[in-house]
Amino acid sequence: SVEPAHRDVPARHFVGGKVPLGLKRKGLRVLVTGGAGFVGSHLVDRLLERGDSVIVVDNLFTGRKDNVVHHFGNPNFEMIRHDVVEPILLEVDQIYHLACPASPVHYKYNPIKTIISFFFFLMTNVVGTLNMLGLAKRINARFLITSTSEVYGDPLQHPQVETYWGNVNPIGVRSCYDEGKRTAETLTMDYHRGANLEVRIARIFNTYGPRMCIDDGRVVSNFVAQALRKEPLTVYGDGKQTRSFQYVSDLVEGLMRLMEGEHVGPFNLGNPGEFTMLELAKVVQDTIDPNAKIEFRENTQDDPHKRKPDITRAKELLGWEPKIPLREGLPLMVTDFRKRIFGDQDVAAA
Ligand code: NAD
Ligand code: UDP
Ligand code: UDP
């Protein structure tokens, strides 16, 4: 394996210290599990930019080598193809634990693979998280887990505050994801209390941007791909359910502030701008194709009716809030999707 740069800098100089973000300093050694995925790869870009040495551990289940290929050859970057369900020995200062088969198609829409997916979700969230916590404990690294707004289930409180315990159906079609993440939070707090591990918990709300999986079934990627391919936008149910969409760079900034800050959390990281799915469809029409048709489809079971983060805690304690509204962020994602769907040449010709 590659010898990380600055191995001589003891973790204690930074971990738990008060080094402000962006300050010039010797790099940390940072592990990003799931670093070849959508969010992870953007985080890796920022960490390397900052001067850290980054190790990505990813089994490429939903991630892609393409997302990090621009770092191949950088001596501060290393990618290990590995499943976090298996133990691993590494030496780092910080662990961002993102690994999780995150796209809904993998648990909602493929009846044949449901049992297998269920297994993947629980194994990754429970055994995978346990292994990464065990690793963090052994090497005394700070550990950040990316949990999700799904822990609130179909919320009875609106907007959702971190103190809300949620409304999750334990036996529903999406429970393996919700309960998997809830368990991952539980394990994280148990290691914090029981082993004195320094931990951070982020609850991420719907996030979009370049490098998102094109066919993963999430609403923003579906609508954008559909509009580009001149297919109708598929609105599930009556389209009046709401979500709040965050641009990926805002999330990455929030994750790094959380890791560097003094507070365990959990912290909601999301954009409070709330849209119905019909309003989202309108933004996509305005951005890509005003003539794009809308087609209504049956909704999935247990679909949360409303979702919007209360981000007071992150504002106060992390000095963070999102900067990019949907109408500004969407075009950036569309450029990336256009390239990936049609290739560079057709984009130039268009
Ligand atoms: P993603 O699917 O693009 O990234 C997840 C990565 O984890 C992929 O690269 C995948 O190959 C890898 N992975 C999955 N199982 C693994 C395993 N067992 N071992 C090693 N690697 C494994 O998804 P994303 O949107 O980038 O999500 C990143 C994290 O953020 C996830 O934990 C997800 O639950 C959380 N999150 C994302 C959103 C969102 O809207 N994108 C919302 C809430 C929470
Ligand atoms: N683990 C790991 N890498 C390490 C240390 C631990 O993958 O460097 C795994 C280990 O295999 C175990 C899990 O993390 O399955 C939890 O480890 P811990 O030491 O907390 O628990 P124990 O092994 O004592 O049950
Ligand atoms: N949705 C939709 N059309 C699609 C995909 C999803 O209307 O093509 C709806 C879905 O029913 C849900 C919302 O969009 O109400 C967000 O779905 P997504 O899977 O993106 O995220 P999550 O449900 O996990 O918030």
Phi and psi, residue 57, nearest 5°: -115, 120
**Whole-structure pTM value:** 0.92
**What is the pLDDT at residue 122?**
82
Phi and psi, residue 95, nearest 5°: -125, 120
**What is the pLDDT at residue 177?**
84
- Looking at residue 173, the DSSP 8-state letter turns out to be T
Ligand 2 centroid–CA 132 distance in Å is 8
Handedness of CA 232, 298, 274, 322 (dihedral sign): negative
Pocket (CB within 6 angstroms of ligand 2): 87-89, 130-131, 134-135, 137-138
Show the tokens assigned to 14.
Answer: 């930074």
Nearest ligand, CA 227:
3
Pocket (CB within 6 angstroms of ligand 3): 104, 206, 218-219, 222, 234-236, 241, 243, 277, 299-300, 303
Q: Residue 129, Cβ neighbours under 10 Å: how many?
A: 27
Show the tokens assigned to 150.
Answer: 């799904």
**What is the pLDDT at residue 10?**
44
**What is the pLDDT at residue 1?**
40
One pLDDT digit (tens) per residue for the chain, 350 residues: 433 444 444 444 444 444 444 444 568 999 999 999 999 999 999 999 999 999 999 999 889 999 999 999 999 999 999 999 999 999 999 999 999 986 555 445 555 555 566 677 788 999 999 999 999 999 999 999 999 999 999 999 999 999 999 999 988 877 888 889 999 999 999 999 999 999 999 999 999 999 999 988 899 999 999 999 999 999 999 999 999 999 999 999 999 999 999 999 999 999 999 999 999 999 999 999 999 999 999 998 889 999 999 999 999 999 999 999 999 999 999 999 999 999 866 555 55
**What is the pLDDT at residue 60?**
93
**What is the pLDDT at residue 176?**
82
**What is the pLDDT at residue 11?**
44
**What is the pLDDT at residue 115?**
59
CB 258, CB 289: distance < 8 Å: no
Beta bridge partners of 57: 33, 80
Of 138, 188, 199, the residue with max ligand 2 atoms within 8 A of its CB, to mutate for a pocket test, comes to: 138
Spatial CB neighbours of 34, under 8 Å, sequence gap ≥ 6: 40, 57, 58, 63, 97, 98, 99, 100, 146
- Ligand 2 atom with the smallest distance to the CA of 89 is 8
**What is the pLDDT at residue 121?**
78
Handedness of CA 87, 76, 255, 152 (dihedral sign): negative
* Residues taking part in catalysis: 177
